[in-house]
Amino acid sequence: MGRKQPVRKQTTAEGRGSKENGTKRQSTVRRQSKVASQQEDDGTQIETGAPKKSSGTKRVKRKEVEKTLNESNAYAQSLKQFTLATCETGIQALVEEFTRIKLMGQANIPAKTAFDANPEKNRYKDVFCIDESRVILTWPPGCTSDYVHANWLPVRGEKKFICTQGPTDKTVDDFWRLVWQEKTKAIVMLCGIMELGKKKCEQYWMDKAGEQMKVQSGITIKTTDVSETEKNLTLTKLELSVEGHDNFVVHHFLWKEWPDRGVPENFMACFRLLQRLKTYSPPTLVHCSAGIGRTGTICGLDMANQILNVGDRLVMADVIKELRQHRHGSVQTDVQYIYMHRVLIGLAENKKLVKHEEIAPFYESYENFIKGKS
């Protein structure tokens, strides 16, 4: 009796097609994963959390995808255009451009009656708080003083920032009245308490977890946590309370090692900080010592980025002029003005919108310029 011959499984055309389609699907998935990974890298090397699990029931509409891609393309085109135009303009022309802006500001000083009436509450005599955009204190009810050296800075119609000076020993209470009144969820501090042996800001919060302080108006500020989010950036969580009112939490970001009237060595840290601030409802309070140099640089970069986001042509001189309409004297030095251009060019390179050889001459000129200033 002979052995049964093994039955060979025939491969049909349909079977081959299924196998090929499976391979194609795997290839497609790999390509999609690669695209998603590229989109997550925004050029600033921001660390992102674990991706949320999809419910499997939501589908992204094609129009929404197209809108996102169009916005992304518009941003890229505007940033590339700005980068190439800046490199063509050059450092010297930008310095001359800033000098003209500065002279214009010195010749046209808006009304500042509240500033003049409160000299004891101003850290510097020549850093003005203009009337038109100043933040008026209304809390607590019945308080006779409504002045604090702070100005509203709208960005594309939204009251996004409050720019203010570093509190003095006489204005710590006013500072916290401002925070409580506007329910500010994030404070950005861009200066040290002491710099080069000079007092630049009062210690207006407790820097150790578990400690607390109380100011004259009745606000208690308790430090609940202190952590280093990245090099030179300290995050302190503060809980504010007033008897008879609900408590609320403020996150205090302290950027260390940014020199007065100068610029930091890191070019992408500005954007990483601004990215963090997106998670907080406005307004965000930003201050350095005078509240115009380092403060203006950070806020000006956000304004510039918003222009790029909608695909509009970015002219940094126009950004500074608009910024100064709200916070007089913002962006204090030509170094800070040039730095704003440099970080955007660095972002364009990180996003691979330009080739290194296209921007290398600008980089070299920038380094020579900074060394000359040092």
pLDDT in tens, 53-109: 444 445 556 666 555 666 689 999 999 999 999 999 999 999 999 999 999 999 999
Residues 168 and 118 sit within 8 Å (Cβ to Cβ): no
- Give the Cα separation of 176 and 148 in Å (integer): 10
What's the fold here for domain 75-373?
Answer: Protein-Tyrosine Phosphatase; Chain A (3.90.190)
- Give the Cα separation of 309 and 274 in Å (integer): 14
Residues 167 and 201 sit within 8 Å (Cβ to Cβ): yes
Hey, is 150 helix, strand or coil? Answer: strand
Residues 267 and 346 sit within 8 Å (Cβ to Cβ): yes
Determine the pLDDT at residue 260.
87
Query: Tokens 């003209």 map to which residue?
Result: 100
pLDDT in tens, 253-304: 999 989 888 899 889 999 999 999 999 999 999 999 999 999 999 999 999 9
Per-residue tokens: 222: 């308790």
Residues 133 and 161 sit within 8 Å (Cβ to Cβ): no
Number of helical (H) and strand (E) elements in the chain, helices listed first: 10, 10
Residues 229 and 189 sit within 8 Å (Cβ to Cβ): no
Hey, is 195 helix, strand or coil? Answer: strand
Q: Which one of 163, 191, 201, 288 is the catalytic residue?
A: 288
Q: Which residues of 295-319 are buried (b: 16+ CB within 10 A; e: fewer)?
A: bbbbbbbbbbbbbbeebeebebeeb
Active site residue 87: no
- When the pLDDT of each residue in the chain is averaged and rounded to a whole number, the result is 87
Beta pairing partners, 273: none
- pTM greater than 0.85: no
